[in-house]
Structure 1
């Protein structure tokens, strides 16, 4: 029978990419990781790694082993969940990763509910964008991730992860000044075009939000002049408030308060992003995960009830 500890190291290598990254994550010496994987190769009787430049990659046989290791670890997580369910009190640590606006608008309320109902459960929250948090979830650095998906930008759904929708978050075009008899009053597309010569604030290149925003502008017939790049949507909001830039902003950025800048509707099919939770299959029935998801659902319901409607769009903006 193959050594499970060594199999887990091989799995870590698949998800983290380098021996050094595995060693850092598990607080091992790189030489120790390499030695353990060499012993696993001896156990299996075939090469598991092959050099690619200064790095290594998994062989076909190693990929087969990792797939079976994933199945074994999923069963072990289900066993852990059943043990936790058998206990009368929820304890331990739940590690959550969340993107900024969900962390501001939903997580504090959910934490309050968890504190009241499960006072011995320790919750550790990390601000991490979904494109980084989801691979870390697969690598078992987190237990639950709050993620987002923009219109027309579906993300791959790895078989070992399980998603649950939380809420649809309306998206708006935020104007750096109140429109007065401009093309912005004609239609969502005209509102976008009226800002073609203005500076823009957007998320960094390579992010799903940036891809979505660029697609919107190009479909309206212009290339946006991006002056400000950041994942900090509160900074986007401040830039719009100070009339430095236009931006696309979701409802969650106001955290239940009334919007502070003029807003226009976006074109049909581009008006909401999906917010959801993601966990590993096998841990989805763990009582801590179930309790956290329940608390987040209630926080989302409260957010919807307390969020005022946005200011009326310009008169013909439909």
Structure 2
């Protein structure tokens, strides 16, 4: 009888399939690249077929390697489901790692942590503020357990295999101008300088389309992925922009907000791996997020 394959080495192979390079796998798992290479060589010996082949200065998966990596994903998911079921009997949920977009981190997570202190005292929650695209990828790759992401109207996000999607709610988007600005509508912002997220993002494309639908091409002079930086530019009277309401949650607005045609909203949702979505920790965090979102809506 042949020896069983190491689940840890299968994880490394799956990570390589997702991340593309041994260096990226090593960085994600805090290993030395040489350690990853050695472990994958051992897995290749265990499996008995070539899993990797040279591709210039890199390596890539062979056809057999792709097959094993696909099955590795299923094995890892089964293991995670088993852990989630066992976690139900634990007095303390396992730690939950959250990837959050900037606005939700600011508007929802302080209240979420406050709720969890009451419902699950002592539970460990780790948070990183990352763009939704990165967060969704890292949840699929097991870098995080839950992601808070957004979807703008007319710009659907890819449904990643193995991830679920649960809506938190909608967040109004409005035109933001400085308090001294004479602009009172989107049409009147045609000759203003604009600040937007970087070109190539869904938010940038959506924002440009709103202007074009009115009949003008926005003069995008400033680009910033940081929405607080955008807010400061607008409040200083240097630009106008389209901002979500969550960005201003709990504060006296440093800008004047103007309703847009058709009152667009973005959808805020969470995604977790289907294999771990039923774990006590993920369920607890989602429940607390839902309460925090509800509370934020009432306060606004």
- TM-score (norm: length of structure 2): 0.92
Structure 2 counterparts to residues 220-239 of structure 1, below 5 A: 220-239=214-233
Evaluate the alpha carbon distance shift between residue 79 and residue 259 of structure 1 in structure 2; reply closer, same or farther with a 3 A threshold.
same
Aligned residue for 1:10, secondary structure, equals: helix
Show the counterpart of 2:11: 8
Show the counterpart of 1:277: 270
Asked if the contact 1:91–1:120 (Cα under 8 Å) also holds between the matched residues in 2, the reply is no
Q: How much does 1:138 deviate? A: 1.6
Match of 1:44 among 44, 47, 64: 47
Match of 1:240 among 234, 244, 259: 234
Distance 1:147 1:110 in 2: 16
Q: How much does 1:68 deviate? A: 1.4
Asked if the contact 1:98–1:128 (Cα under 8 Å) also holds between the matched residues in 2, the reply is yes
1:194 equivalent to 2:188? Answer yes
Show the counterpart of 1:174: 176
Asked if the contact 2:167–2:268 (Cα under 8 Å) also holds between the matched residues in 1, the reply is yes
Distance 1:204 1:91 in 2: 38
Aligned residue for 1:158, secondary structure, equals: coil
Aligned residue for 2:190, secondary structure, equals: coil
Distance 1:282 1:56 in 2: 29
Distance 2:220 2:55 in 1: 38
Show the counterpart of 1:187: none
1:295 equivalent to 2:288? Answer yes
Distance 1:72 1:218 in 2: 49
CA RMSD of aligned residues (A): 1.9
Show the counterpart of 2:61: 58
Show the counterpart of 1:212: 206
Aligned residue for 1:237, secondary structure, equals: helix
Aligned residue for 2:88, secondary structure, equals: helix
Structure 2 counterparts to residues 52-131 of structure 1, below 5 A: 52-87=55-90, 89-131=91-133
Aligned residue for 2:168, secondary structure, equals: strand
Q: How much does 1:179 deviate? A: 6.9
Asked if the contact 1:169–1:275 (Cα under 8 Å) also holds between the matched residues in 2, the reply is yes
Matched residues, number: 297
Q: How much does 1:165 deviate? A: 0.3
Could you list the per-position Cα deviations for residues 109-132 of structure 1 after superposition, in whole angstroms to 9, with x for gaps in the alignment? 010010122112111111111111
Could you list the per-position Cα deviations for residues 42-75 of structure 1 after superposition, in whole angstroms to 9, with x for gaps in the alignment? 3333322233332222223222222211111111
Distance 1:264 1:27 in 2: 47
Q: How much does 1:93 deviate? A: 1.8
Asked if the contact 1:131–1:207 (Cα under 8 Å) also holds between the matched residues in 2, the reply is no
Asked if the contact 2:179–2:254 (Cα under 8 Å) also holds between the matched residues in 1, the reply is no
- TM-score (norm: length of structure 1): 0.87
Distance 2:94 2:48 in 1: 39
Q: How much does 1:40 deviate? A: 2.2
Distance 1:35 1:127 in 2: 33
Moved >6 Å (runs of 4+): none
Distance 2:139 2:285 in 1: 16
Moved more, 160-169 or 195-204: 195-204
Aligned residue for 1:263, secondary structure, equals: strand
